[in-house]
Amino acid sequence: MGIYLNPNNDNFTEITSNEIYVDKTMMISALNRIMKVNNKYVCVSRPRRFGKTIAGNMLSAYFSKGVDSRELFAPYKISRDPSFESNLNKMNVIQIDMNSEFKNELDKENLLNNLQDRIVSEFIEQFVKD
């Protein structure tokens, strides 16, 4: 669908097609469990160079309404978990990789304003009907 709002699963597909990929999909099961209680915010943190982008791409591919990821996750542990179907591609997801945004933004002074404009544009395109 969008770049920021409900992105596709291309990034996670690329990661899983590498010769070495360590299955961390059971993180999704833990998130599915806590989403049923009254947790509004979840922080998935990792030390520097320990897979924050990979985790973000995996979570986006799983939750995003912008794509059908059933086959992508079929070979991994999460597909055999009872919670697998509960949230698969059922959420509106906003995914922002701030490192990439900063690196690719020519006008660093207005990074946040420009990013906000792009995200708002996607929201309008997706949710505002004429």
Per residue in 44-101, pLDDT (tens digit) is 788 888 888 899 999 999 999 999 999 999 999 999 999 999 999 999 999 998 888 8
If asked whether residues 75 and 122 sit together in one domain, one would say: no
Q: Which domain holds residue 64?
A: 1-95
**How long a stretch of residues is the chain?**
130
d(CA 6, CA 89): 9
SS (H, E, C) 49-111: CCCHHHHHHHHHHHHECCCCCHHHHCCCHHHHCCCHHHHCCCECCECCCHHHHHHHCCCHHHH
Examine the domain organization and report whether 54 and 112 are in the same domain: no
Is 13 found in the same domain as 72?
yes
17 lies in the same domain as 35: yes
* Residues 106 and 82 both lie in one domain: no
Q: Which of 18-27, 59-68, 94-103, 110-119 has the lowest mean pLDDT?
A: 94-103
Structural domains counted in the chain: 2
Question: Cβ contacts of residue 77 below 8 Å, gap of 6+?
Answer: 23, 25, 26
Same domain flag for 56 and 67: yes
Look up the pTM and report it: 0.86
Residues 59 and 120 in one domain: no
Handedness of CA 58, 64, 67, 70 (dihedral sign): positive
